[in-house]
Amino acid sequence: MKARARAALAAALACVFRPAVAIDTTRHDVQSFAAEVASRHHLDRTWILELLAQAEFNDAIIDAMNRPAEKVRPWFEYEKSFVTDKRIREGRDFYAAHKATFDDAAHKSGVPGTLLVAILGIESSYGRIVGPFREIDALTTLAFDYPERAPYFRGQLEQFLLLVRDAHIDPLAAMGSYGGAMGAPQFMPGNVRRFAIDADGDGKIDLYGNWNDIAASVANFLIAHGWQAGEPLYAKAMVADPDREGLENGLALNTTVGELAEQGVTIDRHMPPATPALFIALREPEEPSYRVGFHNFWVLTRYNRSAMYALAVCELAEAIAAGGPPQPTAAAHTP
């Protein structure tokens, strides 16, 4: 990029985002947070405030929170971004390099190794991109400068402080996403504390570079949310009357295969009529396409509350297992 272009870009960004500024620890909400967390967990209130004083607010974090890809992009664009030939090729190479580790996790958990790999591919490009923000900055910004979800992020900031205490994490060096997700699996701090596993017994949990810990932790998350080994994920669907009332997107298993059939929805695999299901309509360039998700698909949406996310994971896992891009006519949706 030429010097003039770089200067213009910097000027434009400066107009959009305020410079990062240190948190004001004299604020009442910051003081209250520090006192409450210190009291609940026998932490030093002064230590909490000294740490928070080293955090910086970042407008880029707020901006990213307000326009996540799952909400602002149609499926056909989302799919092209996440299920790419490059990501498939890298996924195959990654799986080949770590096959024993992920197959062992699959054997112990019942979660296919290719699915575990695909989650890492979507979340962090197989551990290469864990986020450009310091955890302390992202969580502090959202805890005290994002009123819409401040209670949630104050809880995650609290969990991060406990990780710092218990797992001896450097609070100023840990990096993550704009939303505070950590490591190759992009776990939020609370999920690190609940689901992360020391799989190789070395006395510590490393979600940034220890693939034994990473694979086992992702599998443990899915198991804890009800993963059923060997069960299918989803089916492609045809809809007789797309305008029929009652066919609505959702992330709850609030219908069955039989009920959907009564509404004119046919799927490309045989499932018992009583099978719990959720209906998915996807925006395409011309006409919508449709999927029907089953229980394990719903489990994937616990990782990220988006049907598009879960479907991208499924397609990437299929492609890694098949050795190429997803085939439009494929009917086997159990990676």
- Which helix (H) or strand (E) element contains residue 81? helix 75-82
Q: Read off the DSSP letter of residue 238.
A: E
Nearest to 142 by CA among 20, 35, 59: 59
- Which helix (H) or strand (E) element contains residue 108? helix 99-109
Q: Alpha helices, DSSP H only, in 173-231?
A: 189-195, 211-224
Residue in the structure block whose two tokens are 């596993």: 197
Q: Which residues belong to the active site?
A: 123
In the structure encoding, which two tokens stand for residue 134, read together?
Answer: 């310091």
In the structure encoding, which two tokens stand for residue 179, read together?
Answer: 């939303």
Question: Residue 323, exposed/middle/buried by CB under 10 A (0-12, 13-18, 19+)?
Answer: exposed
Q: What is the pairing mode between strands 265-267 and 21-22?
A: unpaired
User: For residues 162 and 165, what is the distance between their CA atoms, to the nearest angstrom?
Assistant: 5
Buried b (16+ CB within 10 A) or exposed e, 103-113: bebbeebebbb
C-alpha 172 chain-centroid distance: 23
User: For residues 268 and 288, what is the distance between their CA atoms, to the nearest angstrom?
Assistant: 17
User: For residues 150 and 59, what is the distance between their CA atoms, to the nearest angstrom?
Assistant: 15
Give me the residues paired with residue 276 across strands.
Answer: 256
